[in-house]
Amino acid sequence: MSAKRNASRRDFLKQCFTGAAVLRASGSMGLLASAQQAASAKSRVVIARDDLLRGTGSTVDSRRMLGLLDRAMQTLCDRDHAVEAWSKLVRPGETVGLKVNALGGRGLSSNLQLIEAICERLQEAGIKAGDIVVWDRETDEMERAGFRIAMGGNGVQCFGTDRLDYEQELVTHGSVGSRLSRILTQRCNVLINLPVLKDHDGAGATIALKNMYGVIHNPNKYHPNGCDPYIADLNMLPEIRTRMRLTICDATTAQYEGGPAYKPEYSWRHNALIVSQDPVALDYTGWQIIERKRAEKGLKTLEAEGRAPHYIATAADAGHQLGTNDPGRITVAEV
């Protein structure tokens, strides 16, 4: 990984615009991508950290979270103000789905303060509150993770696919044949992916790409062989690709072993957000973070355990081109 620790924002931006090749990443990279991919040789991954994110307590401070998110987004989008950054990603009138990950309960699900911060900035960028839907598979699971369910009215919507069901028709790509959440197909035309950085006993790591398992009715069918090539094939579905604009990975609390369920003994407070428009580059970067933590704890690498996340390479291969896993083509900025 080409991590460039302590890089200044100016240095980072300089790096971003010095390449020649154009990355052929996902089908629709969104408004920002269309403007920047043409000039950028590399995929950008921003890691924003704040060691004081929780102050002296255990709860994430909302104001500091907003500041952390702003720092990440301004760096990613090369803007001095947060709303300007968001305005490059979304337009008024669009409906935005925030696909969270609530599997890990209160300990290891997409951070609530982060979601509040995103909703705040989306509204400032012109998205109506009622056009934002925070969602995952099951409403009960979301409630257990601390989400306050809201369906109807003018406020931000928050519920699981069980409330709207899945489409009746199958969609297929490669090894995958699934019914898609109607929240995805009927309630949002922009998708912002909000995974959690964590270990996965089968896939090795579950970050951005695998979070799309929460979009389909039959994820249990796609866990053999370390979820490969299923994860990559799933992310190729046009209904997902054309909506995906951004991934904001919640690494405020991350987990390096024993996932995907929450295991306090294997989690740590990383106090970070990892942001990118290239989900493959983000997953590769997140995987390296997990590996470093595993090494620090004296654990074997995921490869040595026979569960390296090979699906990341598949997502980058010629048959998928969902992004890059080549560290030489990933620019990581830590801010």
Partner 1 sequence: MCALASGAALGVGEFPAPLAAQPLLGGAQKQDDAQFTVEAKFYQKLDNKKIKCKLCPRECTVGDRERGYCGVNRGGTYYSLVHSRVCAAHVDPIEKKPLFHYLPGTVAFSLATAGCNVNCKFCQNWDISQSRPEQVPAEFTPPKRVAELAKQYGCRTIAYTYSEPVVFSEFLMDAADAGHNAGIRSIVVSNGYMQQESLKAAYGKMDAVKIDLKSFSESYYRDVVTGQLKPVLDSLVTLRKMDKWTEIVYLVVPTLNDDDAGFIGLARWIKTNLGLDVPLHFTQFHPEYLLKNLPITPVPTLERAKAIADAEGLHYVYIGNVPGHPAQNTYCPKCRKMLVERIGFTASQNLIRKDSCPFCQHPIPGVWHT
Per DSSP, helices labelled H in 125-188 are 139-144, 182-187
Query: What is the distance between the alpha carbons of residues 109 and 272, in angstroms, rounded to a whole number?
Result: 14
Tokens (6 digits) for 212: 């799309």
Nearer to partner 1 by Cβ, of 88 and 198: the residue is 198
Our CB check for partner 1 shows the closer of 218 and 301 to be 218
* Non-local CB neighbours of 304 within 8 Å, separated by 6+ positions: none
Q: Cβ distance 82 to 303 under 8 Å?
A: no
* Cβ 258 to partner 1 shortest distance, Å: 6
CA distances from 177 to 19, 216, 250 (A): 38, 9, 29
Q: Which is nearer to partner 1, 259 or 279 (CB)?
A: 259
Q: Report the residue number, 97 or 259, with the smaller CB distance to partner 1.
A: 259
d(CA 254, CA 268): 6
The Cα angle at residue 45 between residues 289 and 248, in degrees rounded to 5: 85
Nearest approach, Cβ of residue 239 and partner 1 (Å): 17
Least CB distance to partner 1 at residue 261 (A): 4
Q: How far is the CB of 166 from partner 1 (least distance, A)?
A: 7
User: Minimum Å distance from CB 195 to partner 1?
Assistant: 16
Task: Indicate the residue among 78 and 167 with the shorter CB distance to partner 1.
Answer: 167
Provide the binding-site residues for partner 1, judged by CB under 8 A.
103, 138, 162-166, 168, 170, 172, 177, 200-202, 217-218, 220-221, 223-224, 258-261, 263
